[in-house]
Amino acid sequence: MHDIQQLISAALDGKRAALARLLSVIEGADQNLLAIESQLTPPVGEAFVIGITGPPGAGKSTLINRLVPHALESFGQAAVLAIDPSSPFSQGALLGDRVRMQGGEFGERVFIRSMASRGEEGGLARATSTAVRLFDACKWPVVIIETLGIGQVELDIMNLADTVLVVLNPGWGDEIQANKAGLTEAGDVFAINKADKPGAAQTRKDLLDSVSLISSKSMPDIMETVATTDKGVLELWQAITAHHARLISSGELVERRHNRQRGLIRRIISDQINRLMDDALNTEEVAMLLEKSTVGEVDIHKALHRVLALMNR
């Protein structure tokens, strides 16, 4: 793990290529992920983490492209993590979010990274949370995460972001109920993008109805934007930062981050357990036991206990 240590110190030193390589390393294998996580403790936790989710085609990438200049004005630098789905058949992926957010004119001040979901459900990739912590540790003051957006409920972002922006379009009321509920629950701020198309008012109403069903939820800001012309984007950015400010003043940010740490530890442990379990299951001894148990020669419990014993070793 000598290389990783070197990379980490280079990345912490502001070396961009080292950070980029580390992001590949954490995507590559779980043990790398753990090794890096352990080196990043205690967590820095300075970065403002914004999650952006919503149905496919809602205009998330285009909106991010419009939000970045505001983020730069407020924070000086911005990192973007854009998640796209991996093909379940080939494990390959087409990662195309960058087409809409090149931002070449921002030069070194923006770091965009495309990530394939690599089989992960829930809207993020396996390495996303560690990636956020890496950016944080490397002093990137704001990290914007664009979730998969393949239509299913993607709630993992709630556990990772300080502020979750849900992007919708006019006509959203036609969405199926489960998707609606999930998105409504996830959102701290809502943007009705493409608001110049008919149906924006109805969507606002649907959204309000949907939010009012969640008793624990205070009424979020619902903003209207036309990302293609930049209309309403400044106001949206103000709503996002206002939410962040409220999180800080109310102490909720600390609470959210505690939850996030808890989730992280939970995740690390369960990953470890899973790996130990797979290792045990893959031993010849267990394989033999399983084979025998299928034909009734040994009790399945014996195999089970053996796996547990191997995991405890």
Partner 1 sequence: MNTKDSPGVIRSSSGIELKNYYTAEDIPESHRHRVHSAPGDAPYHRGWHPTGYRSKPWRIFQLSGFGKPEDENERIKFLLKNGETGFIMEHDRNTADHCYNVDHPEVVARREDVGLTGAVMQSVRDIAICLDGLPVDTSFGHAGGAVVQHAPFALAGYWTVAKKRGYDLSKIAGTGQSDFNLTYLGCVTKQQIPTDAGLRFNTDIIEFCGEHLPRWVPVSIAGYNAADTGLSPDQELGTLFANAVEYLDEIKRRGNVPLEQAAKGCAGVSFRASIHIFEEAAKLRAARLMWSDLLRSRYNITDPKTANLRIHCVTAGSKMTYQQPLNNIVRGTLMALTAAMGGVQSLGVSGYDEALSIPSEHAHQMSLRIQQVIQEETNFCAVTDPLGGSYYVETLTAQLAEKAWEFFEEIQQQGGYLASLDSGWLHAKAAENQHSEFMALESGEQHIVGVTCAREDESPFEVDGFMGTDDAFDVATERLQETLRTRHEAGACAAMKNLEAVCRSETNIMPVMLDALEAEVTLGEIGDIYRDVFGDWNTPIQT
Partner 2 sequence: MDHSQKRILMAKTGLDGHWRGPTIVARALRDAGFEVIMIGMANTDDIVRAAVDEDVDLVGLNIGGHINVALRAVNSVREARPDVPIFAGGTVPPHAKKQLEALDVEVFPPGSQLVDIVAAADRLTGRSAD
Q: Which residues bind partner 1 (CB under 8 A)?
A: 57, 59, 62, 94, 96, 99-100, 105, 226-231
CB closer to partner 1 out of 25 and 226: 226
Q: Which of 42, 88, 107, 296 binds partner 2 (CB under 8 A)?
A: 107
Picked from partner 1, partner 2, none, the partner binding residue 114 (CB below 5 to 8 A depending on kind) is partner 2
If the CB atoms of residues 38 and 91 are measured against partner 2, the closer one turns out to be 91
**Residue 112 vs 289, nearer CB to partner 2:** 112
Minimum CB separation of residue 128 from partner 2 in Å reads 15
Nearest to residue 25, comparing CAs of 127, 109, 101? 127
Under rule CB under 8 A, residue 139 binds partner 2: no
Pick one of partner 2, partner 1, none as the site partner of residue 116 (Cβ within 5 to 8 A by kind).
partner 2
Q: Check if the beta carbon of residue 203 is closer than 8 Å to that of residue 171.
A: yes
Supply the minimum distance, in Å, between the C-beta of residue 20 and partner 2.
4
- Output the smallest distance, CB 236 to partner 2, in A: 25
- Calculate the dihedral angle through the C-alpha atoms of 60, 66, 72, 75, rounding to the nearest 10 degrees: -50
| Cα(234)–Cα(67) distance, integer angstroms | 8
Residue type, 295: V
Amino acid at 243: H
Q: Which residue has the tokens 């800001």?
A: 221
Q: Please tell me whether residue 299 adopts helix, strand or coil conformation.
A: coil
Collapsing DSSP states into helix, strand and coil, what is residue 217? coil
Query: Interface with partner 2 includes 20 (CB under 8 A)?
Result: yes
- Residue 40 CB coordination number (10 Å): 16
Residue 10 interface partner, choices partner 1, partner 2, none, CB cut-off 5-8 Å depending on type: none
